[in-house]
Amino acid sequence: MANIFDIKGKVIVVTGGLGQLGRNYSLALLESGAKVVVLDKYVTDSLVNSAFGAQANDESLLFLEADVTDRKSLAEAECQIYEAWGAPFGLVNNAALDSPPGAPREENGPFETYPEESFDKVMEVNSKGVFLCCQVFGTRMASEGRGSIINISSTYGILSPDQTIYDYRRSGQEMFYKPVAYSVSKSSLMNLTRYLATYWAPQNVRVNTLTLAGVYNGQDERFLENYQKRVPLGRMAKEDEYSGAVIFLMSEASSYMTGSNMVIDGGWTAW
C-alpha cells in the first residue's frame, strides 16, 4: 500500500515556494523523492538559504524567479523547467496575497471604504495568478496526458471571516476588519478547480482544491485566544500539518479524486 503514495521522480512546481507553507510543501515533496521547482517572485541566495538552509543545494531542487501575474514570466519559467527536467507532473498553486494585521489602516478598515486598488491587487495574485499558472503549466501537463494540480484555498473562501475574533482590536478604537478581497479571491478557486477538473479529465489531469485554516506564525496572544476558541481542536495548525495532504493529492493514492475540495481546518467549518 505504501507504493500508492510514491511520487519519486515527479517534477512538481510550488508557487510562492519561499514562503512559510510553500517551503514546507517543497521540503515534504523533496523528502518523498520528487523533483521540486520552487517558484517565487523574488529569488535571491539569501532568501533561498534562509528558507532552505543546507538543503538549498539539493540537486532535486530548482529555484526559479517568476511573477504569477505575468504570463510571459511564467512561460519562461516553464521553458526552463522543461529544458532541465522535462514536463512538470504537478502544480501547487500556493502563492497568495493577504492583508496582514500590520497592513496599512485603510486595507483593514470597514468594507464600505475598502480600497478598490487593494481589491484589484489581491484578486490579481490570488485568482488571476492561479488561472495563469494553470494555463501555462497545466497546458503542458495536458499535452503529456497526466498531472495533478492543487489549488490552495482557505476556510475564508467557503465561510465568511468571523469578525468577532477582532473585537478586541476594535474595542481599542482601532477600526480593524478582516478584508473582503481575500475571501472573494479564495472562493473563486473552487469553481476554477471544478471547471479545469472536467475540462482536462480526458487528458488525465486531475485538479483539486485544498482548503486550509490558519497557521501559527507568532500571532499575538489576544488573537490566538479568540481564534482558538473557534476551532474544535483548540489550536492553529502547525506549519507542516498540511504537507501530507499535498503528498496524497500528488500521488496515486488520490487517483480517482478530481474536482473536489479537501478541507483541513481543525474542525473550523464543522460548526
**Mean pLDDT computed over 129-138:** 98
Contact partners, residue 223, CB within 8 Å, separation at least 6: 101, 165, 166, 168
Cβ atoms 218, 101 nearer than 8 A: no
- What is the percent of the chain where pLDDT is above 70? 98
Q: How many alpha carbons lie under 13 Å from residue 110 in its C-beta half-sphere? A: 5
For 118-167, give the DSSP string: HHHHHHIIIIIHHHHHIIIIIHHHHHHT-EEEEEEEEGGGTS---GGGGH
Helix, strand, or coil (residue 115): coil
- Show me where the domains of the chain are located: 8-265
Contact partners, residue 25, CB within 8 Å, separation at least 6: 14, 17, 92, 94, 242, 243, 246
The class of domain 8-265 in CATH terms is alpha beta
Helix, strand, or coil (residue 210): strand
Question: What pLDDT does 105 receive?
Answer: 81
* Residue range 80-116, pLDDT digits in tens: 999 999 999 999 999 999 986 567 788 888 999 999 9
Question: What pLDDT does 206 receive?
Answer: 99
Question: What pLDDT does 173 receive?
Answer: 73
